[in-house]
Structure 1
Amino acid sequence: MAKRLTHFVQLTAVEHACKMMRADLLVRLIDEDGLRPIDIARATGLRQSDLSQMYATAKTFPPDARADDVPYNIFMLATRMIRKFPELRMRPRLALSQIRRLGLSQHRDVSRHFSQLARLAEMRRALPAPAIQRNGVINSTHRARLQDVLHLIPDGVAKIIHVDPPYIYPTTTDGRYNSGSSRSRLCDDAEAETALQLVRDVLGNWQPKLAPGGVLLLWQASGPLLPQIIESVDQYDWRLAGPVIWDKSRHQPGDFTAPYSRQTEMLWVLSRPGDELVNHDGSSRSDILRFPPVSFPSAASEQDHCFEKPQKLCEPHPQAQPSRRTGARPLRMHRIDDAGGDRS
């Protein structure tokens, strides 16, 4: 039985390889020999629509852009989605990556996923465009939702996207952070799902704003990332470089029923696949940053954001070594010179 199963697996691999070889040969027959698809259909008995799909798949994913372990069917599904949803403007590599990461293999499941992405994109386009401030976009503070600022930022201009969203400490019955400050309620007292959606929007929409070698810095509470965030990291094709830990040197008030209090927060570093992180200014190579926090229990009611960061903590930013890709930019924008200094 084991021998037969091994033989079956081998034949399946050969079948997948033959499908791509046949598609490559079809491209040569049409492009180099000048045959029409209808002529090939008559000679082979295959449907012209199937030949057209085979041709489109081989052209979308030429031999030098294919992984050996991906079957023809997955390449074909990615090609169909790119052609079916042109409004997504999705690159072939990204479409293929989404299908593989989600483990999809059926057309209905793949189509449902890309339909959801298309609906989300249409909803974002339907939002009224925010008014551009007179002082321009760069070197300016924009007091607006990040979803509204997205339209103002050109693609490929951000070296750093530094995002400090609510951390979703659900201490009330309806899942909101219970703050004593009327000002902090504006940003921290939303429902947990709203806070999660904010992170999903950043991961789903801001990568094109990154300059070559740019990074996304995402603050989260100490501990592992939530499963919903990890799913979005995979879905939108980010490379997760792992956390840099902020040690506040003293524990903070928290859940008094827990055996210990939190003393750290996590800065998760994300970049595009293929970009290599480098130490660009000779700063400390440690993945633990030690700075005292801004907040004290006696001043909590005066804070705008219950997890405010000290300015010194934001200076030693990492940077990625760019690969040959285009890339993303944030709410708080910086231009980084060659020496690694910030110019606001």
Structure 2
Amino acid sequence: MQRFFIYIILSIAVFLLFGWYFSNITLYLVISLILAALLRPLTNHLNDFHLLGQHIPRWSAILLSYSAIVLLMVLLSFLFFPLINNQILILSELDLNGIYEQVQLPVSRVEGFLLRHELLEAQPGHLFGNLKASMIEMIKGFDFTSFIGGVINTTSSLFIGTMAIAFISFFLLLENGLLRRNLLNLIPNPYFELSVATFTKVEKLLSNYLSGLLLQMLAIFSLASFGLTIMGVEYALTIALFAAVANLIPYAGPLLGAMFGIIVGVSSGTFETNTELNYLIIKILSVFGLVQITDNIFLQPMIFSKSVKAHPLEIFVVIFAGAKIAGVIGMIFAIPVYTIFRVFILEFYKGYKSYRIFQIK
């Protein structure tokens, strides 16, 4: 028995070391496993569908599933095109002299306050002149070549990552259940029953978690879009979609969604007085406040606590541990990874207490 537990501990240690050293490959594999789990029901239904008396080949069903994902992404991207086009028009019509005049008044007031209290030794207008000169110098010093190079590198990395994930997911879907069977083949016969029960429970919990996460995103999108539309905020659907996706990042996601909503609302609107601007910000914050309260009281306890079957304090600690290890990506994948290890440890502990195979003779 001790040899078996040493084997388990060494396997986990090797897995963690491999995951840390080959972080990119591990990330691709984890995303591929999640994508395959999401697409498997659709792929199986398409594969079972009869066309001219024949089943649709599995590889064709997988490609059709991929096509459905691409079509969904294209349709969702149409929500952002009007916003991007509007921001480009605003930037193209930007009046720098008008901006300077708007900035000059508050800067002059601050400068006057500092001069009156002898906190600044300079001629009037010196502070604004330095600010204007710094802005011009920053614009002139912008390295366009490095910016283009960074965009190209980022685009190539995203393309390589997307192709790798699509390739891995394709074979995970094509060889349905092959990975699980190969892993179970490595388990010694005395521990086979316990291992099958553990794998089944892990798959069920992760499936419940992913399904709940999709329902949570749909609920947040519906609530935010409905509230923003009632409040008369422009690009309500775009803001709601961004908020629903950003909510994948625990704790920080709602703040990002609210900030994005305020930025879009302020940049796309016209305000004659500061009162109108403040009123818009209050409307956006009130909508996101209600959405967040609903999410915290009804959605998150149902998804994170019940589907993962963990205490909310555990979830809190695990999420911040994931953020410490891998930043935003770690926060997103912290709960699924924690669920896997938690179930494995609990199931093998139960096996140690209950199964005869672990009893010392």
TM-score (norm 1): 0.23
Q: Greater strand share, 1 or 2? A: 1
Task: Return the index of the structure with the highest Cα Rg.
Answer: 2
Q: Greater helix share, 1 or 2? A: 2
TM-score (norm 2): 0.22
